[in-house]
Copies of this chain bind each other. A is one copy, B any other.
Amino acid sequence: MIIINGELGSTIHVMDRGAMYGDGVFRTMRMRDGHVKCWPQQYRKLQADCQALDILCPARSVLEQEVAQLARDAADCVVKIVVSRGEGGRGYGVPDSVSPNRVVLAAPAPNYPEHFWHEGVKLYVCEMRISHQPRLAGIKHLNRLENVLARMEWDDPSTPEGLLLDAEGWVVEGTMSNLFMRQGTVLRTPNLSACGVAGLQRERILKYAAQLNLTPEITQFSLPVLLAADEVFICNSVIGVWPVRQIGNQPIALGPIAIHMQHLLESETD
């Protein structure tokens, strides 16, 4: 089911600035039993990303009604919300009269093997390097060609995710996930002030770290440092947490924190 500006539909105008320039933002969320996980925090992120691009964010109550409409049709799915700046202008300049377009849609939940959660996953190391753009860093915007091209680099279903580095060789994230590494009692995740998407689950894991007696640290680290970690895991709102058991050709030790975090994220007590 697809709801476009409140109406059932499947198409948008070709002059939508999302379609023309990637001029918009989105969120991807998990719905289970008709309930979107972490909805208040997801809406807050959507608001913040809209604000960062000076796009008027749809009202929370409007989106809640539309998500409820999806839930009646498919209670177990992935929900995607896209907000573009709206239609207008052949050029980059934004017309005074622009009005945002919102798309709220349900897609089937991906069918990953159970062992990804219990035994961990392999990460492909992408050759594509993520560019530094502090003005857009952290935002889940629609300019995602880097992710698309990175994802095109490998095609092995047993490797569900790729690792992205920046031009200087610092670890940034996965193509669709954020990444954490543990060194003793320190839980590190890359600094995303120059590039990357600052996902909601990353934020939650940073908050939950103290409950597991871990010191969270937002910092730069290189691939060799990552490969020497005591434990590595990735996260997003669809998968939750996957332990990482291999990066490129190198095995990575499994540890207890990934599984603890799976449960904490599920608990939604934050």
Task: Identify the A interface with B (CB < 8 A).
Answer: 2, 4, 9-14, 16-23, 26, 28, 53-54, 78, 80, 82, 84-85, 90-94, 103, 105, 107, 110, 128-129, 131-133, 135-136, 141-152, 167, 175-176
The residue that A14 contacts in the complex, of B2, B91, B176, with Cβ under 8 A, is B2
Q: How many chain copies?
A: 2
Chain B residues, Cβ within 8 Å of A103: 14
B128 near A131: Cβ-Cβ < 8 Å: no
Chain B residues, Cβ within 8 Å of A147: 21, 92
Q: Which of A82, A129, A146 has the most CB of B within 10 A?
A: A146
Chain B residues, Cβ within 8 Å of A17: 148
Sample of 19 further A-B pairs with CB below 8 A, known A11-B14, A92-B176: A11-B11, A12-B12, A14-B103, A17-B148, A21-B142, A21-B143, A22-B22, A22-B144, A22-B145, A23-B148, A53-B149, A80-B90, A90-B107, A94-B152, A128-B135, A131-B131, A132-B132, A143-B143, A143-B144
A91 near B176: Cβ-Cβ < 8 Å: yes
Chain B residues, Cβ within 8 Å of A151: 91-94
B20 near A82: Cβ-Cβ < 8 Å: yes
Q: A127 CB to closest chain B CB, in angstroms?
A: 9
A10 near B14: Cβ-Cβ < 8 Å: yes
Top-6 shortest CB links A-B: A22-B22, A11-B11, A143-B143, A131-B133, A21-B144, A19-B19
The residue that A21 contacts in the complex, of B2, B53, B90, B145, with Cβ under 8 A, is B145
Chain B residues, Cβ within 8 Å of A176: 91-92
Q: A55 CB to closest chain B CB, in angstroms?
A: 10
B19 near A167: Cβ-Cβ < 8 Å: no
Chain B residues, Cβ within 8 Å of A85: 148
A19-B23 contact in complex given A128-B135, A136-B145, C-beta closer than 8 Å: no
A92-B148 contact in complex given A14-B82, A167-B132, C-beta closer than 8 Å: yes
Chain B residues, Cβ within 8 Å of A110: 90-91
Q: A25 CB to closest chain B CB, in angstroms?
A: 10
Chain B residues, Cβ within 8 Å of A90: 28, 78, 80, 107, 110
Complex Cα distance, B143 from A175, in Å, reads: 17
Residue in chain B with minimal CB distance to A127? B135
Complex Cα distance, B18 from A17, in Å, reads: 10
Q: What are 21 contact pairs spanning A and B, CB under 8 A?
A: A11-B13, A12-B19, A14-B105, A18-B19, A19-B19, A19-B82, A20-B26, A21-B143, A21-B144, A22-B22, A22-B142, A28-B90, A53-B149, A91-B110, A91-B176, A92-B147, A92-B151, A131-B133, A136-B146, A142-B145, A143-B144
